[in-house]
Amino acid sequence: MSLVPGRATRSHSARRRGPSSLALLAPCAAILMSGCTVGPDFHRPAAPQVAGYTAEPLPAQTATAPVRGGEVQRFLAERDLPGEWWQLFRSPALTALVQQALDANPDVEAAQAALRQARENAYAQEGAFYPNVQAGFIASREKNAVDVVSPTLTSGQALFNLYTPQVFVSYALDTWGGNRRQVESLQAQAEAQRFQLEATYLTLTSNVVAASIQEGSLRAQVAATREVIRIEGDQLALLRRQYELGAVAGADVAAQEAALAQTEVTLPTLQKQLAQQRDLIARLAGRFPSDEPGQRFELDDLTLPQELPLGLPSRLVEQRPDVRSAEANLHSASAQVGVATANMLPQITLSANAGSTSTQFHQLFTSPTVFWGLTAGILQPLFEGGTLLHRKRAADAALEQAAAQYRSTVLTAFQNVADALHALDHDAQALAAAARAERAAADSLAIAQRTMELGATSFLPLLVAQQTYQQALIGLAQARANRYADTAALFQALGGGWWSHGTAPGPQVSAGMNHR
């Protein structure tokens, strides 16, 4: 059997110091401690026996590209992720924004309140380990009919005051461990909520980092689009001069005007996305859009983490808050089977009351006015229309459901890590290709412009070169952002590093994270 946890173990000294009527219930403690606990005992699921995250071994390091954000990244299998993983991007602005979000985001406050609620519910259920003691006092003014059958009072008085103070004590023996299982279930629910809070921290910090990277990407795309607009505008001015000299046809000028207009159309769309991204960042920081944070993000302000701690695959189930929360839900469902089983067995209750009743207040608790009583009862459900049986079956089904959900969460966790690792490998290759494409497009555009200035080619190759260069610039900005974003996604998939603080998750994990 499981021992009475926490506060219940402190109740024995309280009973010894309590009223004498409580001493009558002393056998309850012995019965409680010797009773069994029905239902399955929970055992943590074993960690998956997998050697790696991906089917094929990952390369020791990624490809490189000759641009900022194109540095090599190395996968370190036996190194743990730091708790403040966003600091690996070495951006003071990003670190400050993450801290602001952790301090002010209402989702964090809601998760913290939910954790407190779950813990208080568990503490409240522990109260059932104690006797229920109530005190009452009744004072009444009465007049009875006399000379009818017999007088109500020995004095024969018809009009009198009656005072009755008394104490009621009741105790439900947890013979089958039903209450212990209920406490166990609620404690597991609090544990699940504890990891839900940690998941809230992880989701929030990941969203802040992702939003900041996306802002930097959009700013780079806006700058690239403006650069293309400048180039196309300069080319349009040149063509107009050549048209005035009769060197080009009016159709060439019109085609360049159309190309410039098409590029200008894309700029407001990017600016809209950038403005909406700023609104998202303000909300994540717990602010209104009109009071957005002062931080601004460019891709050049971020440093790509080059050493990526992976940890061992067998430890992922220990590190992912969602897996730990699913495990706690499984524990809670297991305990509920015990609760449903105990409800089908006999319930034993002890009760006592003691008090005094008198028509004179000063005579209370004198020997003739004292009364007391002891009651022991046992109640065995015989027929309840199948209610208890079906509740037991429902608890069994809920346990099966929780087990399946746990397995699903574990599979998703490993998928998330594998997806992030594949993304990083291919992101590096994509960035190297995007860098080559940008250089080639820039060279092609320069050649087309020079050739056009000399009048040695038609206008069509210049239009193609301009469009290719614009696409290459945008593609390069997006490829750079993908490496940063997927690096953050890997850190999120690995669990966020809360265990690196050396304490369990929850408020005040470390001095470096005072939001907790």
Are 423 and 450 in a shared domain?
yes
Are 297 and 232 in a shared domain?
yes
Residue 50 lies in a domain: no
Are 361 and 341 in a shared domain?
no
The total domain count for the chain is 2
Structural domain harbouring 161 = 1-34+131-172+346-379
Instruction: State the CB neighbour count (10 A cutoff) for residue 2.
Output: 13
Dump the DSSP string for 223-244.
HHHHHHHHHHHHHHHHHHHHHH
Residue 397 lies in a domain: yes
Q: Nearest to residue 198, comparing CAs of 258, 296, 112, 99?
A: 112
Are 461 and 364 in a shared domain?
no
Residue 417 lies in a domain: yes
Residue 506 lies in a domain: no
Are 196 and 301 in a shared domain?
yes
Are 10 and 117 in a shared domain?
no
The CA-atom distances, in angstroms, between 160 and each of 349, 363, 423, 459 are: 37, 14, 89, 117
CATH number (domain holding residue 454): 1.20.1600.10
CATH number (domain holding residue 165): 2.20.200.10
Residue 57 lies in a domain: no
Q: Of 329, 357, 379, which residue sits at a domain end? A: 379
Are 163 and 291 in a shared domain?
no
Are 167 and 256 in a shared domain?
no
pLDDT per residue as tens, the chain (516 positions): 333 333 333 333 333 333 443 444 444 444 444 458 899 999 999 999 888 888 888 888 899 999 998 899 999 887 888 989 999 999 999 999 999 999 999 999 999 999 999 999 999 999 999 999 999 999 998 887 766 666 667 777 788 888 999 999 999 999 999 999 999 999 999 999 999 999 999 999 999 999 999 999 999 999 999 988 998 898 888 888 888 888 778 888 898 899 899 999 999 999 999 999 999 999 999 999 999 999 999 999 999 999 999 888 889 999 999 999 999 999 999 999 999 999 999 999 999 999 999 888 888 888 889 999 999 999 999 988 899 999 999 999 999 999 999 999 999 999 999 999 999 999 999 999 999 999 999 999 888 888 877 766 667 788 888 888 888 999 999 999 999 999 999 999 999 988 876 444 433 333 333 333
Residue 403 lies in a domain: yes
pTM of the model: 0.83
Are 115 and 217 in a shared domain?
yes
Q: What is the Cα–Cα distance from 81 to 308, expressed in whole angstroms?
A: 8
Residue 43 C-alpha from the chain's centroid? 24
Residue 39 lies in a domain: no
Are 461 and 430 in a shared domain?
yes
Are 120 and 205 in a shared domain?
yes
